[in-house]
Each structure stands twice: as C-alpha cells, then as structure tokens.
Structure 1
C-alpha cells in the first residue's frame, strides 16, 4: 500500500515547493503537506476544484479537449493543478517557474501509485 504522505513529501523535496495536496473533485482535502504550515490546505483545495472546473468548461467551449493541467502564475509564485482521473486532483504551490518541469514530471510518475492508494486505479 502506498503512503500518501510519503508520496507528497517527494514534492516538498523539490526546492521551492511550499504545498502539495491531494483533493477530491468535490473540494474535500484527501491528504496534504506544507513546508511551513502557513497555507490553508482546505481552502486552497476547495478553490482549486472550482478553477479546474472552469478550465474544463473553457476547453469544451473552445474545442481543445480535456484538461491535462492548469498552471496559474502569481506575483509571488505558481499554483499547478493536475487532474488524477475523475475523482481527484493534485495541487502544488511553489515559489517560481524554475522547477515547474520537475513538479509536472513527478505528478505524472506518481499518478498511478496515488490512484492505487485511493483504490480508484
């Protein structure tokens, strides 16, 4: 059995990653970890499900297919949302774009083990 905290800790091992959470499509937090504990994981997860739904609606409207991932850039960092099947999504918050590729790669390589841990693979 995969330990979700251990999987999420691999994200926090990437320099600049401040938060890694797994959230259900309903907005409820499944598991999460923060580097400094200052970010409200529940609020971030709930808001990000809405952001992903908006991105999915846009993709349908402009006939571009399903959402593979969403990246939002802010003055002080980035947020990445990656759908993991129909029931969950991975949200990461990090300081700058320099490790975006590493985060996206880790999401892809961890996908199956996370789904297995959630028993939805």
Structure 2
C-alpha cells in the first residue's frame, strides 16, 4: 500500500478525511491532492502532526514490506538502497525515510533535481 492509501484508510477509520487533516496541519487543503495524485509526501514534522491528530504512529502511514510491489532497481546503487531498506525494522525504515526526505529537501540540491552526477 502507498502512503496515500494508508493515510486515507486511517482517516476513514478515524471518521475524518485527508483534506481535513492536511488543512489542520498546513492551513490549506491543496496538498491533499498532491498526496493522492502525485504521491507527494509531507515533511517529517507534518507527518508527526498528522499522526498526532489521527492518534496513530507515523509508521502506520507506511506499508509493510509484504504489501509493496516488487521494484526493479535501475542500477547497483538503487539495488543497494533497496537491499538495506528491506532489511530494516519498521521503526528503522521510518528513520531511513526521514533521512531521505531531509536529503531530498536540502537547498544545495535544488538545482540538481532530475540530474545525476558521478560521486
């Protein structure tokens, strides 16, 4: 299951919807559309606030490994990342993803999005 599927399911179980939760956290509901249609993910601090409002854990927003479709890595680096991720506990997966989101949002990478460079 995707983040969007999980959070929408949790919202329904709690008698609310994603739009209301996103509006409470971000002050605007437009990001709910990005979550549902583009697979966008909120910042870690926003996920924590959403989890608090929904009385659940941030880990509940992420699918268990057995629910995920098989992913074919594009190269050896992606293969290593998937191997490491799949070997982690559920809590460690959350920490791993938090670091990935922080890396993704680093300002110095702003101009590099969509390109790759040799390391």
Structure whose residues are more often helix by fraction: 2
Q: What is the TM-score with the length of structure 2 in the denominator?
A: 0.28
- Normalised by the length of structure 1, the TM-score is 0.28
**Which has the larger share of strand?**
1
Q: Greater Rg, structure 1 or structure 2?
A: 2
